[in-house]
Copies of this chain bind each other. A is one copy, B any other.
Amino acid sequence: MTRLTAPLDAALSRQRIETPSWGYGNSGTRFKTFAAPGAARDVSEKIDDAAEVHRLTGIAPSVALHIPWDEVDDYAALGQYARERGVSIGAINPNVFQDDVYRLGSVTHPDEAVREQAVSHLLDCVEVMRQTGSRDLSLWFADGTNYAGQDDLRRRKHAMRAALKRVHDALPDGGRMLVEYKLFEPAFYATDLFDWGAAYAHCVAIGEKAQVLVDLGHHAQGVNIEQIVAFLLDEGRLGGFHFNARRYADDDLIVGTGNPFELFCIYAELVAAGHADDQITRRTAQNVAYMIDQSHNIEPKVEAMLQSVLNCQDAYAKALLIDRDALRAAQQAGDVLAAHRALTDAFRTDVRPLLAEWRDVHGLPSDPIAAHRASGYQATVARERGTAQGGGGYPVREKTLTR
């Protein structure tokens, strides 16, 4: 059985997974949002839930905010509220996709006034960064088109770059912007930031504080995500992750549930980059922001988030167990199958005992899910918060014929 050595303990203790405030509230598909009993109704309840996840896992000490969903008058008070519960405010996520003016885009909209409104909101969020002490501004744009010809693709590219540049130059010292890309949805013909290459090209053109954010659900079928991760690490442009799982589109399921081996391979690249000879690669790996971004439609919110954090821990622990000397030797010898087995041997290891031991050592419940289920937390919030209306997507009942 794998023992908790000092280096393993140190490595495991360094892991950080940020959970998103919106993961604790109701969310759903375009067809229906099922109201979850006890779903968080406001930012303080979201912080309460995030704190519970951190209390049980020990590796989820921060919570990402979404503006304006989590907008408050006093961010200092909000930060204080979080600290009192053992967590801190993480990345700031602007929202430039839910105002009616954004029907045809935000920063790439044909109308300059709309573009200005969007940039203005982004700059407001930079101000929220300052007030919350956040390092990262996490940018996702729904911008794109649904039909060939609908808009000029190069014009939109120019508008995107101009907006990113303005926000970049307003970032505080030590601040970063994480530029997220997505294959599609809600745009169905062309998305302005359509893949890592587009995000990367913009970041390089804009400046040092711009980094690419990889959302695991935002790729075409078959795309090798760990290779993109390795490429961006090597170029010094990997800023962070939005973790989730997908089989089809941007399914936003619990990370690691569809293909746990893929998550392991991603962590394997990250761990390897942390030991790279190249200093830029190493430093880039050390500064990666690990964030969950999921939309739980049918799962209990807090338990789903716990499971997500634990799945990341599982994958990371296995990646730490790779025998890197054996791997390198097999690779250099061109021994295809031995090199592959150097990976799979680590993956096949059952790290549950190791992680239970690490939790014991650090005063955490050895089985966080069981502890959560035993704690009564879910029943308590269900009772206290009730069940909000779900709403969502498609029309519900229209009024009946009256004429």
How far apart are A101's CB and chain B's nearest CB, in angstroms?
A: 10
Q: A42-B398, A146-B297, A393-B393 are in contact. List 4 more A-B contacts (CB 8 A).
A: A30-B392, A73-B401, A148-B257, A189-B224
Map CB proximity to B onto A147-164 as digits: 1 under 8 Å, 0 otherwise: 111111111011000000
A213 within 8 A of B: no
**In the complex, A234 Cα to B258 Cα: how many Å?**
24
Map CB proximity to B onto A139-180 as digits: 1 under 8 Å, 0 otherwise: 000100011111111110110000000000000000000000
> Do residues A398 and B70 form an inter-chain contact, with CB atoms below 8 A?
yes
A382 within 8 A of B: no
> Do residues A32 and B298 form an inter-chain contact, with CB atoms below 8 A?
no
- Given the known interface contacts A249-B248, A400-B71, A402-B44, the answer about A111 and B334 at a Cβ–Cβ threshold of 8 Å is yes
Choose one: B153, B224, B234, B334; the contact of A110 (CB below 8 Å).
B334
How far apart are A386's CB and chain B's nearest CB, in angstroms?
A: 13
Residues of B contacting A395 with CB < 8 Å?
A: 22, 25-27, 69
Choose one: B188, B248, B300; the contact of A246 (CB below 8 Å).
B188
Q: Is the interface of A mostly helix, strand, loop or mixed?
A: loop
Residues of B contacting A22 with CB < 8 Å?
A: 394-395
Choose one: B70, B103, B327, B350; the contact of A349 (CB below 8 Å).
B350
A348 within 8 A of B: yes
- Given the known interface contacts A194-B224, A350-B349, the answer about A188 and B149 at a Cβ–Cβ threshold of 8 Å is no
Residues of B contacting A70 with CB < 8 Å?
A: 398
A185 within 8 A of B: yes
How far apart are A288's CB and chain B's nearest CB, in angstroms?
A: 15
A119 within 8 A of B: no
A33 within 8 A of B: yes
A261 within 8 A of B: yes
How far apart are A262's CB and chain B's nearest CB, in angstroms?
A: 7
> Do residues A339 and B154 form an inter-chain contact, with CB atoms below 8 A?
no
A14 within 8 A of B: no
Residues of B contacting A6 with CB < 8 Å?
A: none
- Given the known interface contacts A195-B197, A227-B190, the answer about A150 and B184 at a Cβ–Cβ threshold of 8 Å is no
> Do residues B188 and A334 form an inter-chain contact, with CB atoms below 8 A?
no
> Do residues B332 and A35 form an inter-chain contact, with CB atoms below 8 A?
no
